[in-house]
Amino acid sequence: MYHEQELQMHTSLANSRFAAFVVFVATGAWLASATDVSAATSIRNTVTSPAGACQPFFSTTQARYSATGIRNAGNATFYVVCSMNGTWNENSANGGAVTISVVVRNGAAGSQGVNCTARPGYHYGGISLQAAYPRAATLAPGTSHEFEWTSAEAGVMFRNPNFTCTLPPGMEITAVRSDYTVDIGN
């Protein structure tokens, strides 16, 4: 009789453990279906002075740095490279800039053309690091133009974006900007 009572007690305990397990699994499945597991994101932006972010591609005495940017004070066109701080979320499609831009201003007496090319930098996914996205514009004297690139156009977030621009005499780069995502939780 003692063994029979012990067997009933173990069977009852096993049944209650199984029932608790079923409730646990069902609750977990319900919570998983009722909870959004993706993190919420927010768009932030940075605007950087080209005086710190840009430099001539080759050494030149024509470049003039000021609080407003980098200007070609000479009489020949030269190239400028601008590098921005990158954003990185390992194994995340949310890391990197969604929009990048560079602002140029024509300080010359006549209209002139300017060319800028963006490169996405490090990427998440299979896009080449050497991808280039050129832009061109002609600016009237005293006017500014913002060249803009989007991650939708590039097919990749801009991890550490870089620009190269031609700077004809009197042309100035006045700002570089990026809009990027940050995870802010659920």
Per-residue pLDDT for the chain (186 aa), expressed as one digit of tens each?
554 555 454 445 444 444 444 334 344 444 444 444 556 777 777 788 888 888 888 888 888 988 889 999 999 999 999 988 766 555 455 567 788 899 999 999 999 999 999 987 755 555 555 678 899 999 999 999 999 998 888 777 777 788 899 999 999 999 998 887 776 776
Q: Do 81 and 21 share a structural domain? A: no
Same domain for 157 and 100: yes
- Whether pTM > 0.95 for this model: the answer is no
156, 82: one domain: yes
DSSP annotation of 91? T
**Which parts of 107-170 are beta strand (E)?**
112-119, 133-139, 144-150, 162-167
Residue 12: which domain range? 1-35
Who's near 76: CB < 8 A, 6+ residues apart? 62, 169
